[in-house]
């Protein structure tokens, strides 16, 4: 009824967000309204709002409105890969961020959509965002493409899709990525030099740690570059008992790998009050190697030579650790 009036502007934006009627209809999934508006010749189907610079297609894609996306893509004057002006996110990227599987598949059918587009804020691709957020079906869809780089790091911290998935505990995504021969399971990020295993161990993701340790080419002792801390050192400090046990039982692990202050995992745990981790039995053949060499770390207070015990008193806790 409104469009029957000659004094109604079908493309007039609001003053708060700068969004047109088409933008609002597309973003809320009103497919029939979108079709009606697109019949008008005095309407811009690529209008960008003033808040984020997002087009109607981008709003529809991000919110998962597959029917609206298909309707807009039928127009030759609609750009399917137009990024916003806020973060440089394209419709595909925003759909991947939010796990919109149907929209992702629809957009990937277009030859003029870049599946490796990186946003301008973090330099993250659609695959990286989907992996980081645990959207398994979107990850699977993107990995089926031959032109998608499964190991492309972001430009913010140099983390790969595997690193993000491991750090956020998305076990199934980790498994999918590890099936690829062109994914490096030991890739350290550029910010802290942490590998996927190190991120998973430090954040307590047991399933991911187990999956990574099943790989023969995963180095369980690779330290970060921020302080020389190993996965075992981080897990011990955070109190992740089962992960500590997994790492200590791993055939390639060395419990004596020190951190940045000549701390072995056995001595890191009590400093944070994790008496359970510190009390894990040392029944391995090389358990005695966990005692630091005092001749190489004179700044470290020596243990009590008479009793071979180190006492630490906390306000609410008294920890006795046998060495």
164 pLDDT above the threshold of 50:
yes
Q: Quote the mean pLDDT of the chain.
A: 84
Instruction: Name residues whose C-beta falls within 8 Å of residue 150's C-beta, 6 or more positions apart in sequence.
Output: 127, 143, 161, 177, 180, 182, 183
Residue 250's pLDDT is 84
CATH number at residue 201: 1.25.40.20
pLDDT tens digits for 63-117? 999 999 999 999 999 999 999 999 999 999 999 999 999 999 999 999 999 999 9
Q: Looking at the domain assignment, is residue 288 inside a domain?
A: no
Name the helix (H) or strand (E) containing 70: helix 66-73
Q: Cα angle at 58 between 54 and 63, to 5 degrees?
A: 115
Q: How many domains does the chain have?
A: 1
Confirm whether 218 is domain-assigned: yes
Is 14 among the domain residues? yes
- The answer to the question of residue 232 being in a domain is yes
**314 falls within a domain:** no
Residue ranges making up the domain that contains 73: 2-279
* Joined tokens for residue 201: 């161990």
From CA 29, how far away is CA 59, in angstroms rounded? 9
Q: Is residue 90 part of a domain?
A: yes
Does residue 259 sit in helix, strand or coil? coil
Q: Is residue 297 part of a domain?
A: no
User: What confidence tier does 275 reach under pLDDT thresholds 50, 70, 90?
Assistant: low
Torsion sign over Cα 117, 86, 135, 160: positive
Which pLDDT score, from 0 to 100, does residue 46 have?
Answer: 95
CB 131 within 8 A of CB 172: no
Distance, CA of 25 to chain centre: 32
Encode 165-200: b = buried (16+ Cβ within 10 Å), e = exposed.
Answer: bbbbbbbebbbbbbeeeebbbebbbeebbbbbbbbb
Residue 317 belongs to some domain of the structure: no
């Amino acid at each position: 009824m409104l469009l029957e009036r000659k004094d109604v502007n079908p493309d007039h934006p609001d003053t708060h967000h700068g969004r047109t009627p088409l933008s609002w209809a597309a973003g809320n999934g009103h497919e029939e309204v979108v079709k009606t508006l697109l019949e008008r010749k005095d309407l811009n189907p690529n209008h960008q709002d003033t808040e984020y610079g997002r087009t109607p297609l981008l709003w529809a894609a991000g919110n998962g409105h597959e029917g609206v996306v298909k309707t807009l893509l039928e127009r030759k004057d609609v750009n399917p890969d137009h990024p916003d002006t806020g973060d440089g996110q394209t419709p595909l990227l925003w759909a991947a961020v939010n796990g919109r599987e149907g929209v992702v598949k629809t957009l990937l059918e277009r030859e003029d959509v870049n599946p490796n587009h990186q946003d301008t804020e973090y330099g993250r691709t659609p695959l990286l965002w989907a992996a980081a957020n645990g959207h398994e079906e979107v990850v699977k869809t993107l990995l089926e493409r031959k032109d998608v780089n499964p190991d492309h790091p972001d430009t913010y911290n140099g983390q790969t899709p595997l690193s993000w998935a491991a750090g956020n505990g998305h076990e199934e995504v980790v498994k999918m990525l590890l099936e690829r021969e062109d994914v490096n399971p030991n890739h350290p990020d550029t910010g802290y030099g942490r590998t996927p295993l190190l991120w998973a161990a430090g954040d307590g993701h047991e399933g991911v740690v187990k999956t990574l340790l099943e790989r023969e080419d995963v180095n369980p002792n690779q330290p970060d570059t921020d302080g020389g801390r190993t996965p075992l050192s981080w897990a011990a400090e955070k109190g992740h008992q089962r992960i500590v046990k997994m790492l200590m039982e791993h055939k390639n692990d060395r419990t004596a790998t020190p951190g940045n202050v000549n701390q072995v995992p056995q001595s890191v745990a009590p400093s944070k009050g994790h008496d359970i981790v510190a009390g894990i039995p040392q029944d391995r053949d090389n358990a005695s190697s966990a005692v630091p060499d005092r001749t190489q770390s004179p700044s470290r207070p020596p243990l009590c030579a008479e009793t071979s015990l180190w006492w630490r008193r906390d306000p609410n806790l008294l920890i006795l650790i046998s060495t």
